């Protein structure tokens, strides 16, 4: 009788900490053995290939309405199918509360939508209405369900919170062990500039990038760090795009603050020149914050290399290039009306493999850490996800490191209908992908059934623990000294 259900034989197993030639034995969906000469009922030959943990993408928008009620192009089936083809086996999408929404209904709706998922998933909450019911009851209840991260916005008329509301949300997160994720841009700068641009008739996509200034990101990052220090609340700043923002985060980390950060493919592989195209074609590249320039790209690479930027996520925000998505008013659509976001869930890892690892910018171990392990550690999923270790879920992507691929819109499996990375030449691709020991992609074909993905309730993790360090003024508030809930 075979000890393993499946053995991945002869590959080079890579984790965040080591690289070695080994077989991987899988039993009951878990990694059961690592060694040489393992036997199993089914054998997958990985000779000459890399055996990596499946990717964890912790910033994904799927089956979500934007603040302008524009729907994403992907539902949980198409979005997770695209993730699987790109080597990602765990996603953390957003359950979006809008101003009038009650959180319990928002969560219930997303649990229903996610029943079509192919890969495993957790949830973040977007908080747009931090009223008494939300703060006192609904957020603690969501945390109790294993939803341990909230996203808040410092911009967008229909989503942004005031500083006082942000402090309220941080207080709940600190007490109950959740992570506050922040879209950090200065609303006043952006809206003031946008008003001037529209009044002058400057409404093409390129003006979106002009209005979202570098200073708007840098100021907001500085302010959110200041607010977090007042509350002693760990935060993660999403989609960081500027050298100034990265340096602000670096200085906060040097002071010992729990400030985590991410960047995304669009800030490594696109620039503002991509948005500056005739007519409304640049809308395909519009996201917030926008892509910057080559110097900003280099700063993002350096931030990933030195650990200032904790994770590399897709910020997959798929909108079709038609009236249902990016262009609600056709070729008359102004930059103020365009849905913000670009697709990237499938190409996140292959782009990073080619232009990061293959180009010598990062090591294979850093590739694994930035695309999988640190996500799992930060969001309370490690070691179930994010590594290849005894007892971990057998979420594994087998990469052919020499496979050459040209990106086209027909290559990717999301529902967007285009890719901002059209024509790029890649070297390295995940050819076999397993989720909990089950092959879900092999030789360019999907072998998984709709709905096999499982919800991942998350535990309170070390990154979410406050420092226990108060600014002097907070020590005067006796109520603040109430012991934290464990």
Report d(CA 81, CA 51) in Å as an integer. 20
Q: What is the mean pLDDT of residues 96-109?
A: 92
How many other C-beta atoms can be found within 10 angstroms of the C-beta atom of residue 361?
17
435 DSSP assignment = E
* Mean pLDDT of the 2-22 span: 96
In order of their start, the domains of the chain are 54-370 (3.20.20.140)
Per the prediction, the chain carries an average pLDDT of: 95
Q: Decide: residue 472, CB within 10 A, 0-12 exposed, 13-18 middle, 19+ buried.
A: exposed
pLDDT for residue 478:
53
**What pLDDT band is residue 484 in, cutting at 50, 70 and 90?**
very low
Residues belonging to the chain: 486
> Greatest CA separation found in the chain?
76
Q: Over 90: is that where the pLDDT of 261 sits?
A: yes
Neighbours of 343 (CB within 10 A): 33
Question: At 480, is the pLDDT very low, low, confident or very high (cuts 50, 70, 90)?
Answer: low
d(Cα 127, Cα 146) in Å, to the nearest integer?
16
Spatial distance between the Cα atoms of 220 and 203, rounded to a whole number of angstroms: 25
Do residues 13 and 24 lie in contact, with contact meaning Cβ atoms separated by under 8 Å? yes
For the cut 50, the answer to whether the pLDDT of residue 483 exceeds it is no
To which H or E segment does residue 349 belong?
helix 348-352
In this structure, the dihedral spanned by the alpha carbons of residues 352, 357, 360 and 363, taken in order and rounded to 10 degrees, is 130
Read off φ and ψ for residue 103, nearest 5 degrees. Answer: -60, -45
Backbone torsion region of residue 436, taken as left when φ is above 0, otherwise alpha when ψ lies between -120 and 50, otherwise beta: left
Question: pLDDT for 165-211, tens place per residue?
Answer: 999 999 999 999 999 999 999 999 999 999 999 999 999 999 999 99
Q: How confident is the model at residue 468 (pLDDT cuts 50, 70, 90)?
A: confident
Exposure string over 18-33, b if 16+ CB within 10 A, otherwise e: eeeebbbbbbebbbbb
Element (H, E) at 176: helix 163-176
**Torsion angle, CA of 465/467/472/476, rounded to 10 degrees?**
30
In sequence order, the 6+-apart residues with CB closer than 8 A to the CB of 446 are: 81, 84, 85, 118, 413, 440
CA distance 453 to 467: 35
Q: Could you tell me the two tokens for 384?
A: 């179930």
């Amino acid at each position: 009788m075979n000890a393993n259900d499946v053995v991945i034989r002869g590959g080079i197993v890579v984790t965040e900490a080591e690289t070695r030639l080994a077989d991987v034995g899988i039993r009951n969906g878990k990694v059961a053995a690592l060694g040489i000469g393992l036997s199993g009922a089914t054998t997958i030959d990985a000779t000459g290939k890399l055996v990596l943990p499946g990717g964890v993408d912790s910033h994904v928008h799927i089956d979500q309405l934007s603040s302008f009620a524009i729907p994403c192009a992907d539902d949980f089936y198409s979005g997770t199918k695209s993730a699987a083809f790109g080597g990602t086996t765990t996603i953390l999408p957003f359950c979006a509360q809008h101003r009038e929404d009650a959180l319990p209904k928002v969560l219930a709706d997303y649990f229903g939508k996610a029943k079509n998922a192919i890969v495993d998933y957790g949830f973040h909450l977007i908080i747009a209405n931090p009223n008494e019911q939300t703060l006192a009851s609904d957020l603690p209840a969501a945390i109790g369900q294993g939803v341990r991260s909230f996203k808040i916005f410092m911009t967008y008329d229909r989503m942004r919170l005031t500083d006082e509301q942000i402090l309220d949300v941080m207080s709940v997160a600190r007490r109950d062990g959740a992570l506050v994720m922040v879209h950090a841009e200065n609303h006043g700068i952006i809206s003031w500039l946008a008003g001037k641009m529209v009044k002058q008739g400057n409404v093409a996509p390129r003006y979106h990038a002009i209005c979202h200034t570098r200073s708007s990101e840098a100021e907001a990052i500085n302010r959110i760090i200041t607010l977090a220090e007042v509350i002693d609340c760990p935060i993660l700043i999403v989609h960081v795009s500027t050298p100034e923002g990265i340096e602000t985060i670096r200085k906060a980390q040097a002071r010992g603050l729990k400030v985590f950060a991410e960047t995304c493919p669009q800030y490594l592989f696109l620039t503002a020149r991509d948005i500056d195209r005739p007519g409304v074609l640049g809308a395909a590249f519009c996201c917030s914050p926008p892509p910057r320039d080559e110097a900003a790209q280099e700063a993002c690479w350096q931030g990933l290399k030195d650990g200032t930027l904790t994770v590399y996520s897709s910020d997959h925000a798929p909108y079709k290039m038609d009236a249902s998505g990016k262009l609600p008013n056709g070729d008359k659509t102004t930059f103020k009306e365009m849905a913000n976001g670009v697709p990237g869930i499938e190409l996140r890892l292959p782009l990073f493999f080619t232009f990061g690892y293959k180009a010598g910018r990062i090591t294979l171990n850093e590739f694994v850490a930035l695309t999988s392990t640190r996500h799992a550690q930060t969001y309370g999923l490690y070691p179930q996800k994010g590594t290849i270790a005894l007892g971990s879920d057998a979420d594994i992507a087998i990469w052919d490191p020499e496979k050459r691929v040209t990106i086209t819109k027909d290559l990717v499996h999301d529902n967007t209908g285009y890719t901002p990375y059209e024509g790029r030449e890649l070297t390295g691709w995940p050819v076999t992908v397993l989720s909990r020991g089950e092959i879900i992609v092999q030789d360019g074909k999907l072998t998984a059934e709709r709905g096999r993905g499982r919800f991942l309730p998350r535990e309170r993790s070390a990154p979410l623990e406050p420092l226990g360090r108060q600014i002097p003024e907070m020590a005067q508030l006796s109520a603040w000294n109430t012991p934290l809930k464990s």
